[in-house]
Amino acid sequence: MRNFAMIGFMMAVCFTGEYVCAELFGTWFCPNLLMIAVVFFNLFRGIRQSLVAAFFAGLMKDSFSPQMFGFHIFVFLVCAYLTTFVKLYVYHSGSKESRVLLVCVMTFLCVMIQYVVRVMFVDVDFGQVIRFILLPEFISTAVVSGYVLEQLRKCALKLFA
């Protein structure tokens, strides 16, 4: 139970970080901090805690979004599962670069999954998704992921001690 509360707290902090970035920099600097956190929990705490993190991430995004409830929960849960498979090919234990690469791959997949699910309900232009969603999100997430993963590791060491 304590672990659940700690994961919820860390996800709330990441969501606040995303919110602050969106308020300050608008659409052009919008790192997917929640995705970084989901990947972090998958790498350092295992699939179960990653699923809990994905649930909290989706819950917070769904609450603020006008989309149908469960959309982000579903997308983040799929990403949490996919991380387990992708890390087998991308991640090398102890390598910081491979962690960043894994985050980048998962950010790309997260946008693509969102596009596929969204296109079932709304008319979305793929060109605009690449230009206005994928590129800003991918670049800004890649830029901050090394730092954020390190901070999350420090935070987890204290909270889960």
Partner 1 sequence: MSRKRAKFIIYALILAGAFLLLFTPASTVTPFKFSVIQAVAFPIRVIIFPFKELKKIVLYRKTYNEYRSLKYEVEILRDRLNGADEIVKENNRLAKLLDFKRKLIFSSVSANVVGRDPTNWNSSVVIDRGLEDGVDIGMPVVSALGVVGKVAEVAENKAKVVLLTDPSFAVAGLIKRSREVGLVSGTLQSKCRMRYLSVDSDVQVGDEVMTSKLSSAFPEGLMIGKVMEVFVDSNSLSVLCLIEPAVSLSQLEEVLVIQKR
What's the CA gap between 119 and 110, in Å, rounded? 14
88 binds partner 1 (CB under 8 A): no
The residue within the footprint of partner 1, chosen from 1, 88, 122, 161 (CB under 8 A), is 122
159 binds partner 1 (CB under 8 A): no
Helix (H, G, I), strand (E, B) or coil at 3: helix
Helix (H, G, I), strand (E, B) or coil at 12: helix
27 binds partner 1 (CB under 8 A): yes
**How many residues bind partner 1, per CB under 8 A?**
47
124 binds partner 1 (CB under 8 A): yes
Total Cβ atoms within 10 A of residue 43: 21
Tell me whether residue 90 or residue 117 sits nearer to partner 1 (CB atom). Answer: 117
4 binds partner 1 (CB under 8 A): no
Nearest approach, Cβ of 11 to partner 1 (angstroms)?
10
What's the CA gap between 118 and 120, in Å, rounded? 5
57 binds partner 1 (CB under 8 A): no
Do the beta carbons of residue 81 and residue 108 sit within 8 Å?
Answer: no
- Please identify, among the stretches 61-69, 86-94, 97-105, 141-149, the one whose residues bind partner 1 according to the rule CB under 8 A: 61-69
Do the beta carbons of residue 30 and residue 21 sit within 8 Å?
Answer: yes
118 binds partner 1 (CB under 8 A): yes
The residue within the footprint of partner 1, chosen from 3, 64, 143, 147 (CB under 8 A), is 64
The residue within the footprint of partner 1, chosen from 4, 5, 19, 150 (CB under 8 A), is 19
What's the CA gap between 19 and 14, in Å, rounded? 9
53 binds partner 1 (CB under 8 A): no
Tokens read off for 74: 């579903």
